[in-house]
Structure 1
Amino acid sequence: MLNALEVILICLVTQAALTDLALRKIPNVLILSGLLLALILHLLAGPPWAPLLQWLAGAVAGFFLFLPLYLLRGMAAGDVKLMAMVGSFAGPGPALRIAALAYVIGGVLALALLLCGGRWRQGLRNLALLCKPLLLRLLGVPLLPVPLPPADSVGGMPYGVAVALGTVGFIAWTHH
């Protein structure tokens, strides 16, 4: 049976996914409301410091698990904040599992969008453009600092959907 944290989290990530699909944006008010709800529910669950630390550790873990992709411009800030909110509900260990599942689901969704949108060639060119300096460096070729030419974007993906599916999948798996 689902507990209150899980039910509220499922509702919040579903709303985030629907909003991300419709508007390509996850509202800050949804994230802040979720963080506050998670904090309140954690504080009601036990002694003051243990739930507070669980809430904080989960939020920080969720945030830093998605931050690298944001810094590489692979996802938007709202997706990073959404994962922080998910971590605040779930805690650090489950946040890691949910993020891993969301990465896999996001990768599958991105490939499907590339293939269905007919932009797979440009996607492969962008990937080669990003990987070429790394591969040359791994082969021992000295590289001079040269700015990369801008890649043509092959489109954005509503990553809130991947986070929502990863969250719901993780919760379903823990109750199976």
Structure 2
Amino acid sequence: MDLIEIIPLASLVIMLFIAAFYDIRSHRIPNWLTFPAVAAGIAFYTCTKGIPGLIFSVEGMFLGIAFFMPFYLAAGMGAGDVKLMGAVGGLIGMKGVFMAFLGTALIGGIYAMILLAFHGYLMETLKRYGTILKVFVLTGRFTYLPPEKKEKMPVMAYGVAIALGTLFSVARVVAMEKW
């Protein structure tokens, strides 16, 4: 890895730590963090690699946004999370953001299970989704079963999952020296 390639990675790491901190503290990821990160990624790759660098960064940004947009539209995720993944894509490109998305999904699933268990909802949730799956297998129709109790579910700071999943995936790639 060339010394110049460390610049977007260092920017990524700093941005992810700040995003996770803000998400834990206020359940928001600020625009003043994500928008400059996208601009920095686009500017860096355009200056260092020209038009192919611009395309690399913009494609990564759009793919990062595309991964989380359905969850945002279904009200399962905040806009800051979507913009954060777009910023990740702008800094590490399409292949990098794809790997970051996989790492984030894995970490996010584990995080959700821990959060549900901590708040006492895990067994009820697993039984409910097991019933949904059983009905689907037997009838071929998807039937959603809402929770029995109308209690406030715990809120995830998904920026933490994005940060950990991205850092894990980037560390893996850097360790393999295939960046």
TM-score range, shorter chain: 0.7 to 0.9
Q: How does 1:107-122 map to 2 (within 5 A)?
A: 107-122=109-124
1:12 Cα deviation after fit: 0.4
Corresponding residue number in structure 1 for 2:68: 66
Separation in structure 2 between the aligned mates of residue 68 and residue 99 of structure 1, nearest angstrom: 14
Corresponding residue number in structure 2 for 1:163: 162
Separation in structure 2 between the aligned mates of residue 123 and residue 40 of structure 1, nearest angstrom: 45
Higher relative contact order (CA 8 A, sep 6+): 1
Cα distance change on mapping 1:110 and 1:57 into 2, 3 Å: same
1:14 corresponds to 2:13: no
Q: How does 1:15-164 map to 2 (within 5 A)?
A: 15-47=18-50, 49-124=51-126, 127=129, 132=132, 136=135, 139-140=138-139, 152-164=151-163
SS in structure 2 of the partner of residue 106 of structure 1: helix
1:156 Cα deviation after fit: 1.1
User: What is the TM-score normalised by the length of structure 1?
Assistant: 0.83
Separation in structure 2 between the aligned mates of residue 21 and residue 72 of structure 1, nearest angstrom: 22
What are structure 1's unaligned runs of at least 5 residues?
none
Separation in structure 1 between the aligned mates of residue 114 and residue 12 of structure 2, nearest angstrom: 27
SS in structure 2 of the partner of residue 175 of structure 1: helix
SS in structure 2 of the partner of residue 51 of structure 1: helix
Number of residue equivalences: 170
1:120 Cα deviation after fit: 2.1
Separation in structure 2 between the aligned mates of residue 116 and residue 137 of structure 1, nearest angstrom: 29
Letter in 2 for 1:15: I
Question: Percent sequence identity over matched residues?
Answer: 30
Paired residues of 1:54 and 1:91 also in contact (CA < 8 A): yes
Separation in structure 1 between the aligned mates of residue 108 and residue 29 of structure 2, nearest angstrom: 16
1:138 Cα deviation after fit: 5.5
RMSD (Å) for aligned C-alpha atoms: 2.5
Cα distance change on mapping 1:60 and 1:152 into 2, 3 Å: farther
1:23 Cα deviation after fit: 0.6
Paired residues of 2:43 and 2:54 also in contact (CA < 8 A): no
1:147 Cα deviation after fit: 9.6
Corresponding residue number in structure 2 for 1:175: 174
What are structure 2's unaligned runs of at least 5 residues?
none
Paired residues of 1:9 and 1:86 also in contact (CA < 8 A): yes
User: What is the TM-score normalised by the length of structure 2?
Assistant: 0.82
